Amino acid sequence: MGSFKDVVGHKDIINYIRSAVEKDQVSHAYILNGERGAGKKLLANLFAVSLQCEKGGPDPCNNCHSCRQAESGNHPDIIRVTHEKPNSISVDDIREQVNNTIMIKPYQSPYKVYIIDHADMMTPQAQNALLKTIEEPPQYAVIMLLVENAEILLPTINSRCVMLRLRYIKDVLIKKYLMENLKVPDYKADLCTAFAQGNMGHAIMLANSEHFNEIREEAVQMLRNIHEMELSEIIETVNRITVYKVEISDYLDIIMVWYRDVLLYKATRDIETVVFKDQINYIKEQAKNSSYEGIQLILSSFERAKSRLKANVNFELTMELLFLTIKEN
């Protein structure tokens, strides 16, 4: 399970949690708000285990019976709410797994902890059902809502929970972790860190990919020839990347690194700021032939495309709009 000492970044949240546990000032409900891969699940798990640890310290001891149960996923007083539908948590899920069980006292621990991952997938009915429990919880109950966008939750839920916002992690910390803990070479750590944009989970995902070199080469080949390619060829190339078990939005983040390189080089003429250093001649050429406004428009188009894909908007139409913007700038 580890401890809070193993977590990279998020020091303010960690200090808050440890203080709450140590001083016995734990709230009945928390929202951990941060993008996918930011570390919400890790922090929630450590928080839950710390609350149940028999040693009673601000960090889990990882040796007591309670910690070992949590490590194996069998702790009776740490409940992880599940849901059958992939993109929805129903009112029945909340009623059956939370509302109908929360009044049963903890079996062996001081707290009964509920962790609801992807809580922003709760239907309005599910949120209203949970709200009644959050408004009048038993003293021993702690509910943790893990969300990517807290604004989707009802304002009444937000107002009754302690908000823990996961901030971006500094690039230097991400790169250091990749090189020291995962033994990632320097050049690869640079790209993974730039791609991550402060998100450790994203950086680790790319660093652990068996096909890192292939993914990078696919991106480079397309970007070097993008203005000569037909839209159908570009869409086919992007579609093919799923063979490497990388999500399209993550692949788009890698391509965005290239355009940030173009923008940074155009503004500074400093090769040291460039991630794709081995492609510096192509970066220079694009910087020369592109305007600041054009590059900024391309980067903004990538963000819009990622939002559209997340909302399940038509893939081919989204890619067509994105790459038309690139070809026009």
What is the phi/psi pair of residue 190, to 5°? -60, -50
CB-CB contact of 256 with 299 (8 Å): yes
Of 157 and 243, which is predicted with more confidence?
157
Per-residue pLDDT, averaged over 262-270, amounts to: 89
Kindly report which listed range (10-14, 16-20, 145-149, 189-193) carries the lowest average pLDDT score.
189-193
Of 201 and 146, which is predicted with more confidence?
146
The structure tokens listed for 295 are: 């590059």
pLDDT at residue 62, rounded to an integer = 86
Q: Is it the case that residue 134 has pLDDT exceeding 70?
A: yes
Those residues whose C-beta lies under 8 Å from the C-beta of residue 304, and which sit 6 or more positions away, are 322
Per-residue pLDDT, averaged over 227-233, amounts to: 83
- From CA 32, how far away is CA 150, in angstroms rounded? 8
- Which three-class secondary structure state does DSSP give residue 7? coil
What is the band of 144 on the pLDDT scale with cuts at 50, 70, 90? very high
Indicate if the alpha-carbon torsion angle 15, 18, 24, 27 is positive or negative: positive
DSSP class of 95: I
Mean pLDDT of the chain, nearest integer:
87
Question: pLDDT for 76-129, tens place per residue?
Answer: 999 999 888 878 899 999 999 999 999 999 998 889 999 999 999 899 999 999
Percent of the chain with pLDDT over 70: 100
pLDDT at residue 270, rounded to an integer = 87
Q: Is it the case that residue 229 has pLDDT exceeding 80?
A: yes
Report the predicted TM-score, pTM, of the whole model to 2 decimal places: 0.76
> How many other CB atoms sit within 10 Å of the CB of residue 270?
9
- From CA 311, how far away is CA 318, in angstroms rounded? 11
Q: To 5 degrees, how large is the angle CA 220–CA 35–CA 87?
A: 100
pLDDT at residue 117, rounded to an integer = 93
pLDDT at residue 208, rounded to an integer = 86
pLDDT at residue 99, rounded to an integer = 92
pLDDT at residue 1, rounded to an integer = 59
- From CA 98, how far away is CA 8, in angstroms rounded? 31
Question: What is the Cα 107 distance to its own chain's centre?
Answer: 33
Question: pLDDT for 30-71, tens place per residue?
Answer: 999 988 888 899 999 999 999 988 887 788 888 889 989 888
The structure tokens listed for 155 are: 């304002």
pLDDT at residue 88, rounded to an integer = 86
DSSP per residue over 242-287, as a string?
A: GGGT--HHHHHHHHHHHHHHHHHHHHH--GGG-S-GGGHHHHHHHH
Question: pLDDT for 270-320, tens place per residue?
Answer: 888 888 888 899 899 888 888 899 889 988 888 888 878 777 777 788 888
pLDDT at residue 130, rounded to an integer = 93
Those residues whose C-beta lies under 8 Å from the C-beta of residue 77, and which sit 6 or more positions away, are 52, 106, 107, 108, 109, 111, 112, 113
